[in-house]
């Protein structure tokens, strides 16, 4: 049996007949940039994210960049974030000449540990970026409480968490702004790159809209220097079709996750495997299903590979240990929980079309692994 980490082919096969006509429609219209599908998708996703605005852009990475530009981030400013995330969270800060200031993670959820933050806040702190890692929201109540008094805005990196909830509130609606990614492997993935900024703040929405189109309110009148970062009409059309299936897919992921955890709990394992911790006051959309394997993680991954099972480490090198961030002066050991997570976590196959037989095979294989 083969169990890939993710199977986009299966999704495409089921959507082929729905996707082809809208692709033709975009070609017939010859409107490839900021057309009616972009507007429809923006409206639908603002509503879905419980915000009044959603602004499409070229990628999730650019969404972070645009959100920070909308805050007037300047060289020398500081932004507090997690070191245990995809590179783009840190690079958006660095690209604007600002300094990423990392806070270690909560070992249970892998999300930023809000208790670490107060000591890191300085007069230069311009934003806090929690990342809703793997599809589960960071503890937004404590983050909002910490940021409120000094008045520091929060940008939620919701690239992995579209539709996730924290105490009934949707990812991307709790901070001043939120950012989404439509990278093909995300829960709502396009046929290429795409991203979005969500916000209920009028000024931020206007600013991001302007910044994504060269900083102009109208075509050739530029109020500031922006970038060219728009969501393609073709991507928007494809995403609009896929959006109708998003909740069903995310619910299927959650069902598969629950089955994995039950199977793992009942299995007679020869090594310690901890299933993901799921908060009981939220909605986890399981972008990834990540186990913790304190010992022999890499050997287990190799063994599973030999048995036709795809796994991956998200993420093997925390941001503070990246070569490009050496200048920040962090050391090995600076963030022990992030480093431990990088050494111990392993993502198992997760996609809506995963079958029970495949899941049983994955857990059976973990059980037969004799370290």
How far apart CA 309 and CA 364 sit, in angstroms, is 11
Task: Report 115-134 residues binding ligand PLP (CB under 6 A).
Answer: 131
Q: CB-wise, 351 or 369, nearer to ligand PLP?
A: 351
By C-alpha distance, which of 331, 295, 330, 292 is closest to 313? 292
Contact string (CB under 6 A) for ligand PLP, positions 178-207, x = contact: ---x-x---------x-x------------
At 213, list the tokens.
């189109």
Identify the residue among 7, 51, 109, 160 touching ligand PLP (CB under 6 A).
Answer: 160
Q: Pattern 275-294, binding to ligand PLP, x per CB under 6 A?
A: --------------------
**CA dist., res. 147 & res. 81, Å (int):** 13
Q: How far is the CB of 60 from ligand PLP (least distance, A)?
A: 2
Binding mask 23-62 for ligand PLP (x = CB under 6 A): ------------------------------------xxx-
Q: How far is the CB of 181 from ligand PLP (least distance, A)?
A: 3
CB of 303 vs ligand PLP, minimal distance in Å: 27
Which residue's CB is nearer to ligand PLP, number 229 or number 365?
229
Reference 6, options 367, 358, 361, 364; nearest CA is 358
Chain residue whose CB lies nearest ligand PLP: 60
Distance from the Cα of residue 200 to its chain's centroid: 20
Distance CA 155, CA 158 (A): 9
235 binds ligand PLP (CB under 6 A): no
State the minimum distance, in angstroms, from the CB of residue 85 to ligand PLP: 5
Residue with smaller CB distance to ligand PLP, 89 or 337: 89
Stretches 155-163, 254-262, 292-300, 357-365: which one binds ligand PLP (CB under 6 A)? 155-163
Contacting ligand PLP within 67-106 (CB under 6 A): 85-86, 88-89
> Which of 103, 366 has the CB closer to ligand PLP?
103
The footprint of ligand PLP on this chain (CB under 6 A) covers a number of residues equal to: 15
Min. distance of Cβ 204 from ligand PLP in angstroms?
19
Closer residue to ligand PLP (CB): 110 or 369: 110
Cis peptide leading into 359, omega within 30 of 0? no
Name which of 61 and 147 has its Cβ closer to ligand PLP. 61
Tokens of 366: 């973990």
Alpha helices in the chain (DSSP H): 8-29, 36-48, 60-70, 87-95, 140-148, 202-211, 233-243, 246-266, 297-306, 336-344, 356-368
Query: What angle separates helix 60-70 from helix 87-95, to the nearest 10 degrees?
Result: 40
Instruction: Work out which of 78, 156, 157, 233 binds ligand PLP, going by CB under 6 A.
Output: 157
Q: Taking the complex as a whole, how short is the minimal distance between the CB of residue 221 and ligand PLP, in angstroms?
A: 29
Give the C-alpha separation, 348 to 366, whole Å: 11
In the complex, least distance from residue 8 CB atom to ligand PLP, rounded to whole angstroms: 15
315 contributes a contact to ligand PLP by CB under 6 A = no
Please tell me what DSSP assigns to residue 106.
P
Q: Please, which residue, 309 or 319, has the CB nearer to ligand PLP?
A: 319
Burial group, residue 9, by CB count within 10 angstroms (0-12, 13-18, 19+): exposed
31's tokens: 């409107």
**Is the Cβ of residue 157 or residue 232 nearer to ligand PLP in the bound state?**
157
Q: How far apart are CA 201 and CA 218, in angstroms?
A: 21
Please state, in angstroms and rounded to a whole number, the distance separating the CA atoms of residues 143 and 66. Answer: 22
| Contact status: 166 vs ligand PLP (CB under 6 A) | no
Cα radius of gyration rounded to whole Å, the chain: 21
| Cα–Cα–Cα angle for 307, 346, 315, rounded to 5 degrees | 130
Sites of contact with ligand PLP (CB under 6 A): 59-61, 85-86, 88-89, 131, 157, 159-160, 181, 183, 193, 195
């Amino acid at each position: 049996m083969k169990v890939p980490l993710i199977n986009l082919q299966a999704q495409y096969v089921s959507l082929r007949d729905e996707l082809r006509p809208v692709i033709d429609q975009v070609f017939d219209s010859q409107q490839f940039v900021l057309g009616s599908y972009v507007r429809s998708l923006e409206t639908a996703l603002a509503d879905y994210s419980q915000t009044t605005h959603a602004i499409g852009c070229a990628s999730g990475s650019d969404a972070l960049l645009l959100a920070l530009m909308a805050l007037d981030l300047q060289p020398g400013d500081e932004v507090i974030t997690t070191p245990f995330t995809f590179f783009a969270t840190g690079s958006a800060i660095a690209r604007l000449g600002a300094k990423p200031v990392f806070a270690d993670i909560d070992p249970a959820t892998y999300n930023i540990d809000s208790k670490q933050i107060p000591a890191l806040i300085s007069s230069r702190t311009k934003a806090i970026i929690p990342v809703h890692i793997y599809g589960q929201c960071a503890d937004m109540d404590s983050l909002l409480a910490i940021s409120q008094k000094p008045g520091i805005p929060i940008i939620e990196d919701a690239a992995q968490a579209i539709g996730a909830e924290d105490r009934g509130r949707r990812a991307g609606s709790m901070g001043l702004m939120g950012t989404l990614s439509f990278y093909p492997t995300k829960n709502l993935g396009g046929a290429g790159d795409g991203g979005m900024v969500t916000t209920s703040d009028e000024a931020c929405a206007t600013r991001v809209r302007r910044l994504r189109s060269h900083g102009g309110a109208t075509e050739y009148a530029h109020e500031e220097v922006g970038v060219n970062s728009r969501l393609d009409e073709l991507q928007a059309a494809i995403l609009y079709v896929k959006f109708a299936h998003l909740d069903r897919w995310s619910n299927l992921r959650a069902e598969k996750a629950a089955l994995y955890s039950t199977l793992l709990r009942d299995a007679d394992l020869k090594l310690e495997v901890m299933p993901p911790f799921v908060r009981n006051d939220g909605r986890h959309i399981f972008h990834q299903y990540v186990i913790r394997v304190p010992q022999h993680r890499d050997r287990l991954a190799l063994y599973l590979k030999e048995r036709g099972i795809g796994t991956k480490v998200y993420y093997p090198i925390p941001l503070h240990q990246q070569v490009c961030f050496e200048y920040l002066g962090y050391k090995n050991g600076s963030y022990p929980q992030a480093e431990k997570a990088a050494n111990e976590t392993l993502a198992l196959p997760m996609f809506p079309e995963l079958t029970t037989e495949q899941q049983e095979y994955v857990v059976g294989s973990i059980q037969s692994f004799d370290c």
